[in-house]
Amino acid sequence: MKRGRTSATGPQRPIGTFRRQGEYWTIVYAGVVVRLRDTKGLQYLGHLLRHPGRAFPVAELAGVLEPRSAGACAWDGKGARTDRAERIRKAVTNRIRQAVARIGAAHEALGLHLGNAVHTGGRCMYTPERPLRWGV
């Protein structure tokens, strides 16, 4: 019997680590360790990795770091987003993309994985092509 996996649907052994430790993040993937200074983008990624497959409305994801932003994605009476909501969407998307680029510069394989599995826009989510579990 293999250790670390309980069943096809049960918990799996973590494939990597994505953990904040003070002002730095320790990221381990495919046996490579990377340490990066904390940014909001890394915090957003950490939250997405803790909840694979779950789509977070961008305002909810922004509210994880800045509770004032949680209700910001209001719609006007015609079905269009408010300017503030659009600014938040752009800011969160840019921060996540910048964090993925920083990771990719230090760890190419992980940068490619995250580039393919992290989706941004009105909703943000982490959807790996096969189920993975992170130690976060």
Following DSSP, what letter does each residue of 95-122 receive, concatenated? HHHHHHHHHHHH-HHHHHHHHHHEE-SS
Q: For residue 54, what are the domain limits? A: 40-131
Within-domain flag for 83: yes
Within-domain flag for 15: no
Within-domain flag for 136: no
Within-domain flag for 62: yes
Within-domain flag for 11: no
Within-domain flag for 16: no
- Which residues, given as ranges, of the chain have pLDDT below 70? 1-14, 68-81
Please report, for residues 2, 21, 135, the alpha-carbon distance to residue 123 in angstroms, rounded to integers and kept in the order given: 37, 27, 23
Within-domain flag for 108: yes
Within-domain flag for 102: yes
Total domain count for the chain? 1
Note the pLDDT of residue 3.
Answer: 40
Instruction: Write the single-letter amino acid at 18.
Output: F
